[in-house]
Amino acid sequence: MKNAYLLFGGFLLTVSAFSAKADYLQDEINQIKDDIVVIQRQLYREKNDTTAAPQESVSNVQVRLGEYDQMIRDMNGKVENIEYRLNTLEKKIEMIDKDIELRFTQMKRQAESSAPKTTNTTKPTVATPAPAGIKPKDLYEQGLNDLKNNKLSDAERKFSQFLTSYPKDTLAGNAQYWLGEVYYKQQNFAKAAVAFKNGYSKYPEGTKGPDCLLKLGLSMKSLGKKDEACTAFTNLPTIFGKVNKDISARALKEAEVLGCK
């Protein structure tokens, strides 16, 4: 379910915003409660202060104590209001969670149903472990060469082998991106979207994170999913701290073409 949170860049940003706001509200509650404790202590001291100036009238002291009581009541009211807002936010996050999980499930089904149908007896590519004795970098380079030479089936097999055998390798994020490129070249945009989503969600700190989000948007555009494409294009610059100028420019251009708001 956690991976589903990162289905689209915008969804992640929305959930992160809700979570940040929830944290802020909780901090505000804690601060108000601390203030209440301070006021209660001051109230207690003044009620039991026997050294008050003789010239200070009893009525003045009572007024001030009444003000403290009112401040405490007001603060308790604020706490109740903030707790209500916090509960509302938690419910919204839960709803978004369910919505994203549903969308991700639908996308996976679409990717499976849109796999190219062939009339020959060629077996579908299966993610198998890498051949014994081959180094991760060598397998990665072989996949790149196959992709460059348009040997897409071979490239898909090798990048899949890489990800199956070396998911923690420093080149794994890149391999995931290039696997998405294989599907994109095959015009299997549903599988490409899933691959790019995995590249973005599983390797968010990798060098190909922005590329994956851009290509996720392009895949969604090709699938006719304007809203999802716009979400990726418009949020790309804000999600990543530093983005290649060409990627940012492409995302901006695509957003303008689609008329994203």
Q: What is the DSSP string of 4-60?
A: GGGSSHHHHHHHHHHHHHHHHHHHHHHHHHHHHHHHHHHHHHHHT-S---TTS-HHH
Instruction: Name the CATH superfamily, with its identifier, for domain 136-258.
Output: Tetratricopeptide repeat domain (1.25.40.10)
> Which residues of the chain does CATH 1.25.40.10 include?
136-258
Residue-level pLDDT at 118: 40
Q: Rounded CA gap, 236 and 196, in Å?
A: 14
CA 82 vs CA 34, 71, 89: distances in Å: 15, 16, 10
> Which residues of the chain does CATH 1.10.287 include?
3-113
pTM above 0.75, yes or no: no
Residue-level pLDDT at 182: 96
Identify the weakest region by mean pLDDT among 1-10, 44-53, 67-76: 1-10
Question: In a 10 Å sphere around its CB, with 0-12 CB exposed, 13-18 middle and 19+ buried, how is residue 151 labelled?
Answer: middle
pLDDT in tens, 67-90: 666 777 777 777 777 767 666 656
Q: Rounded CA gap, 99 and 137, in Å?
A: 38
pLDDT in tens, 98-145: 555 555 555 555 555 544 444 433 344 455 776 777 899 999 999 999
Residue-level pLDDT at 76: 74
pLDDT in tens, 187-245: 999 999 999 988 878 887 788 888 988 999 999 999 988 888 888 888 887 777 677 88
Token pair in block for residue 234: 């418009």
Instruction: Return the CATH architecture of domain 3-113.
Output: Orthogonal Bundle (1.10)
